[in-house]
Structures are given as structure tokens and as C-alpha cells.
Amino acid sequence: MKLNKPLVLSSMALSVTLALSACNDSNNSNESDNNTSIVEQENTSTLAHYLNRDIQDDVFYFVMPDRFHNGDTANDLGSENIAISRGGFDKTSKSYYHGGDIKGLTDKIPYLKEMGITAIWLTPILRNQAVQGDVSGYHGYWVLDFTEIDPHLGTNADLKRFIDTAHDENIKVFFDIITNHTADVIRYKECHGEGETAFSDGEQQCEYKSLAQVAAGDKYTPFVPDGMENLKVPSWLNDTKYYHNQGDSTFQGENSIYGDFFGLDDINTDDPEVVAGLTEVFKDIITEFKPDGFRIDTVKHVNIEFWQAFSPALVEHAKSQGLPKFFMFGEVFDGNPDVLSRFTTEGKVPSVLDFGFAFAVRNVLVDQKGTSELANLFAQDVKYRDHDSDENQLLNFVGNHDFGRFAWYLQQSEHNYVEAEKLARLTLAHQMMYFLRGIPVTYYGTEQGFVGDGGNHDSRQDMMPSQVASYNDDDLLGTDKTTEDDNFDQLHPLYLALKEMAEIYQAHPVLRYGQQQVVHSNDKAEIFAVTRTLPSGEQYLVAFNTANHTSNANILLSQNVEKLIYQSGAAEGNSQSNQLNLNMAPLSVAIFQLSN
């Protein structure tokens, strides 16, 4: 069976074609002229209503509201009445508020809908301590008040309007929540001094006291500085007895759970009163705002017994509030499936972000390691399977606000990729994110070619015009713009590529629900292929060429190749007796429908 018939060139194929035409392999100089693609529409399915839509039908967009779009400049300085939640605004500093808000995000819902986004995940939006030391809480992870939105981002009414607007467009909204810690308020007399209230981002200040030390009487004396006794809401969070108070974590052994996360007040989630209290806090949020789910921060830094009680209680409460598909996924910053899967099975958290996937794709497409990296990861997928979840519900990503952007890893690579090949590799990374098992999560700014200078503050650029020098000197991919410009270009090649990926993902249920089996990999950066199979027997073959040259593979299949569904570069194959001899253009993907 020949698969190289002329097809219509689509936007995604065009972006990859342009990129590969500039790659350095002279042997491929004529191959990109044949890059073609097709989207079969026979299996197109109508997107279900958000209230009844399974999580595997969603395409996520992860956004930091402060860095997205400023819809209301009146709230740039935060609270007018509460000093600790006011200030921290400096558009020239990467570690301060920049003015983006919920109204701005609401204004851009059409931009996201057009890109194929069906679920928006926001970084934490509850009221923060505005400034700690020489940094601000623009990111939202220093919560003081669990009942209202941070005033830098707007009001509770603004948030409800945003959710209503998103729901009107059949888009879900997910909140980022924190149970591990609150803002840094508590001090220890033994290492801070009674008059010391300074906080320095990332600085370890108080040596960790182990459980054994505490049991032997060697422990800190916690106190709350004058004037700060009633900052937290609900009020029980102001009592130091509800915190571990054991000093700073080094993220090793027991202190990973019991230590303060960079000085933030570590909540004692072993205490039954705390479990009940935090469960009520987030039940109230569900009741008031009706979000479609939660992403849970720092999951591995909380004892697993907490999750066993917390997660089922919130899912059941959401159902009682008319949210039958309410879904939660946790951040477990670890690439080991043994660690990740423990929280989705024993811990009863419905899903997690798949850091293993992010590391494996980076190894293959940035470092040019063999595709066996992916095969070895997927061989462990069985560990995620239990009575209510499996690997198809994992959240796939290749870059985020802590991890750094995929384009930055390409920028730092020893392979010295030219811009065109960076664009092609970034596109292929996202094709893997969309077409392999799991749910795709695009990090904001990716669709505009953002690069960054690392993780944390260096990966949190402005979509609105930026005044941060270290952002504005980046060479963005696929555009002549910089972050000094407004970056909501719906003709950017990456925006168009991601839009098309979403269309393919939504058009073919097998790409969302099909059981995945690896059918070809090796220890070289060449072709990687999987089958995706539905219980009905419908089966697709999805193949990726991870090399910057044409690659060939002989793939044994249980079914015959029936037709080509999609290709982003020239694919030529001969199929005989359930064996496919496949030639693929560099850095491309091809999807085939199989039949008995």
C-alpha cells in the first residue's frame, strides 16, 4: 500500500515544512517539498457539554493571570484596605506583579476557544501576601485568605463572571489550590529572633528539626509577629498549633513532608482537625464558584493519609453541587512512575501531571536520545490503573512555570539547533503531547514562540507588552516580535499548529480513549510508533520520526493499514501481511487507521 499520494497542505504541515527546510542535513534538501497533511473528518465528534464532558475530551491551557492580559488597571496595586495584600507592582521586575487579571483573561476567551482550548487552568487566585522579602506573590502560591480572590486579580464577582463566560463557550475552568502551606507569617524564636519578619525567596533560614528531635523536646518555639495575628482566613489558620513548625525543608526524607517549603508555613495535615478544616475550605470554594476541578500544588509534600480523606470528599461534594465530572489532578514533581502512581492509586487523587512524560520527551527531542526512553516510560503505565483511573487520564505537558519552557531547553542544547529546527522539534513535542496517551496541557505563551531563560520567574513572560529586559531580549520562535509587543497573534505558526492538533484530537476518539501499545522503538533518535485501540476494536497507528533526517522502520501490526488519517511530513509506506514498511520525513508525525 502506497501512502505518498498528493494531499492538501495544512497549517501545521506548513509550519513544520518551513522549519525543516532550514535544517542542516543536506541529504534532506528536497524532502520537505513533499511534506503534506490530511485530517480525516469521518470520526468527528461533537464536544459534549462541560458539565457532562469526560476529562479525556479536554484540551488544557495553563495560564498565569498576572502575566496574561490587563483588563482593569485600577486593581494593579491590589487591596485598598488590607496593607499586606497591597503593593508589589513593578512591570520592570520579573518577580513582581505586572497587572494581568481576571477581566483580562475573560477578554481573551475567544482567542483560547479559537485555538481549540476546552479547559483553562489558572495559577492560584486566592488572596496572597503581596510581598515577602524582595519578591511578590504574583504567582499566587502564598495564600492568606481562602475565601476571596487576590485583589490584584479582581473580585469574587469578576471570577464568577469569568467562569460564566467560559462556561457559555463550553470551556471548563480549573483552580490551582494549595493545602501544604500558607503564606510565611509564623516565626521561630530560636532562629528568627522576636523582631525578625524578613522573608527571602528560596533562602533556607531555619535548620530542620526531625520528628525524633521534636519528640525528645528539641523543637522550635513558634510565634506570630505583632500585628499579624489575624491575617489568615478562616481564622483557625492563625493558630500555630495547626502547623508543623519544624524548620525549613531540604526536600529529602521526612522533611519533604514536615518541613517549611522555602519558609512558607507548613500546615499540619496529619491533624484530623486540619483535614476537616481544609476539606471544608475547599468545599466552600466549590459551592461558591462552581469550578470544574482543581489542580493541587505540592502533593508529594503532604502525607498520603490526607489525600485519602480529602480527595474523595471533594469529588462527592462537587457531585452534590451539580458537578458530576468534577476532576482533580496533583503536582508530584518527580519523573518516576512509582512515585507518581502512588498518589493516583493509594492516595486516591484522580490524576497527576505526568513529569515522567515531560522528562522523556525532553530526552528524545532535545538531547536526541533513543526512542526507547519513551517505550520504557510507557511500559510502566500499568502502575496507574485502578478502579477509577488509568494512564489515559494523566496530564501531559512539556513545559511549565517551574519546569521551564521546552523552547528554552532547545535553546540550551549542546546540539546548537538553528531556529527552524527548534520550531520543528517544539511542534513535534506538542504532537506527542496531543496524540500519545494522556490529556494535553499547553503552557501559555508556547503558541507565540516564548523561550525564556530557565524555570521559575524566568519562564513567566508577559503576553501583554512587557517591560522586563530579560524577557524582551529573547529571540521568540516563529515570529519577529519580542515580548515587548502584544503577543496574541492568531496567525502565528505555533498557534495554528496547536489549533490543528486540537481539531485532530477532538475528531478521533481513539486518540483520547484508545489503549496504547508501543509497536516500534529503538536506542536511536528515529521512528517511534504506538497503536491506540478502542474496546470496539477500532485501531490507529501513530508514528513519530524524532530524527532530523528521513527514517525507515518495519512495523509489525495486528491489523492491516486501511488509510492515512494525518501526516505532518511526507510519509511513504508499503503494507503487506500486517507489516508496514514506513519511511517518514524528518521530525514528523503520521497517523493511520488500521482494520482487520
Residues serving a catalytic function are 297, 331
Please tell me the distance from the alpha carbon of residue 102 to that of residue 166, in angstroms, as a whole number.
12
Note if the bond before 324 is cis, omega within 30 degrees: no
CA-based nearest residue to 397, from 60, 55, 58 = 60
- Tally the C-alpha atoms within 13 A of residue 513's C-alpha that lie toward its C-beta: 13
| C-alpha 105: how far from chain center | 18
Q: Going by DSSP bridges, is the β-strand pair 539-545/588-595 parallel, antiparallel, or unpaired?
A: antiparallel
Cell numbers at 217, concatenated: 523536646
Q: Going by DSSP bridges, is the β-strand pair 60-63/119-122 parallel, antiparallel, or unpaired?
A: parallel
Burial of 84 (0-12, 13-18, 19+ CB in 10 A): buried
Cell numbers at 550, concatenated: 528521513
Place of cell 503534506: 36
Rg (CA), the chain: 24
Angle 514-518-524 from CA coordinates, rounded to 5°: 140
Residue 236 — φ and ψ, nearest 5°? -60, -20
Distances (CA, A) of 247 to 198, 274, 397, 585: 15, 19, 33, 55
Cell numbers at 362, concatenated: 525532553
Dihedral sign from CA coordinates of 479, 482, 483, 485: negative
Q: Going by DSSP bridges, is the β-strand pair 579-584/588-595 parallel, antiparallel, or unpaired?
A: unpaired
Q: Tell me if residue 429 falls in helix, strand or coil.
A: helix
Angle 234-238-243 from CA coordinates, rounded to 5°: 110
Cell numbers at 403, concatenated: 519546569
CA-based nearest residue to 51, from 326, 357, 351 = 326
Note if the bond before 6 is cis, omega within 30 degrees: no
Residue 35 — φ and ψ, nearest 5°? -60, 125
* DSSP β-bridge partners for residue 593: 540, 563
| Contact predicate 591/584, CB 8 Å | no
| C-alpha 396: how far from chain center | 7
* DSSP β-bridge partners for residue 528: 544
DSSP state of 389: B
Stated length of the chain? 596
